[in-house]
Chain A
Amino acid sequence: MEFISKKGKKIEIREIQEKDYLELRNFINSLVRENTYILKNRPIDKEGELNYVRRCLEEIKRKERVHLVAVYKNKIVGAAEIRRKKFKEKHVGVLGISVRKNYRNEGIGKALMSEVIKRSKKLGVKLVILDVFKVNKPAIALYRKLGFKKYAELPKALKHKGKYVSALSMYKWIG
């Protein structure tokens, strides 16, 4: 699908493909370098990224995952995934989302989230959960706007830029 961002950019949102791995690696490593509010703190190499993408594609085939990218002029500027849990948590999906630095605050994250949630619902996901750095206020504001509620807060859950920071956990029932 396509949508026009707040800044007038024409963005395509689609499922990941194997050939995305190099561009996806560029994207992830740009976030690692920026040391933004993501868990990863070291870059990934080509082989690691290819293996990761292949594993994702297998999970997508087994209907255990939805994984979307936002593409602008052949460049990946955002990604969102929902991974379905197993066994007695099969109805629970864990959401992850990230947007490239100069593409934030123009609605790309919101569009990615709405789409990934819609598609996960089709797989039978009824409860979507996510974790967010407590200091990441714009993200928390977006999640709230989309109907997510806080259900947990873990003090010193993360070590970010040499400091311990708290993590919030949020959920949304979509069943």
Chain B
Amino acid sequence: MVFFISKKGRKIEIRKIQENDWVGLRNLMNSLVKENAFILRDVPISKEEQIKNLKKRIEDMKKKKRVDLVAIYNGKLVANIYIRRKKFKEKHVGTLGVFVKKNYRNEGIGKALIKEALKHSKKIGIKLVVLEVFKVNKPAMILYKKLGFKKYGELPKALKHKGRYMNNVLMYKRLG
């Protein structure tokens, strides 16, 4: 568990996911779905689905197949990050996803989460972290670049967002 003070002066706790986080995680995901943020999901997640999903994630975390952290402010779950390890000949590769609640962006929470998750994933033997980002999501891309991610590809019309096809940018970062 670590604490840090965000740019807006909020004291944020970063810790591993726990079984009772399903409420907070579901609120976070469904708030992003409602906002139609730059995430893949476009239908809300049900309670049952979320509970099952979280259980699996905790099991995978124990098996060192993933890193999964949340950011908590005043008891409220405001962000989540995961790095999921691939299988077989890609066992050294982890796929990253990060989600920050609307009114908690641009204050360094995503950055702190990514840094922490990279540290954890290095410890479990991940050597290469990859991610995909909506090409129109400039703030995210700037952040990833700042943290050392490099673009390695771009897929045209990879996503349908708000009725339009848009590109996805693929980025990677090598760990130690």
Contact = CB atoms under 8 A, between A and B. Distances in A.
Range, interface on chain A: 20 to 34
Given A41-B88, A127-B158, A159-B92, 7 more contacts: A88-B41, A151-B156, A152-B154, A156-B128, A157-B90, A159-B89, A171-B156
B130 A173 contact: no
A169 B93 contact: no
B153 interface: yes
Contact of A88 (B42, B89, B90, B170): B42
User: Which among A92, A155, A157 has the highest number of chain B CB atoms within 10 Å?
Assistant: A157
Given A87-B43, A88-B159, A89-B40, A158 B154 contact: no
Contacts of B63: none
B146 interface: no
Contact of A158 (B42, B90, B172): B90
A39 B87 contact: yes
Interface in B90-133: 90-93, 127-128, 130
B88 A42 contact: yes
Given A86-B40, A88-B42, A151 B88 contact: no
A92 B90 CA distance: 22
A159 B91 contact: yes
Interface string B139-176: 00000000000001111111111000000001010100
A124 B159 CA distance: 14
Nearest to B150: A155
Interface in A86-107: 86-92
Contacts, number: 72
Contacts of A41: 88-89
Contacts of A89: 40, 158-160
A40 interface: yes
B128 A157 contact: yes
Nearest to A126: B157
A89 B155 CA distance: 12
Interface of B: 40-43, 87-93, 127-128, 130, 152-161, 170, 172, 174
- Secondary structure class of chain B's binding surface, majority of residues: strand
Interface in A21-52: 39-42
B157 A127 contact: yes
Interface string A153-175: 11111111000000001010100
B135 to A, nearest CB: 12
Contact of B88 (A39, A91, A155): A39
A153 B152 CA distance: 6
A88 B161 contact: yes
Given A40-B88, A41-B88, A154 B172 contact: yes
Q: Name the 3 nearest CB pairs between A and B, nearest first.
A: A152-B153, A39-B88, A158-B89
Nearest to B93: A157
A152 B160 contact: no
A129 interface: yes
Contacts of B42: 87-88
Given A129-B155, A151-B156, A160 B172 contact: no
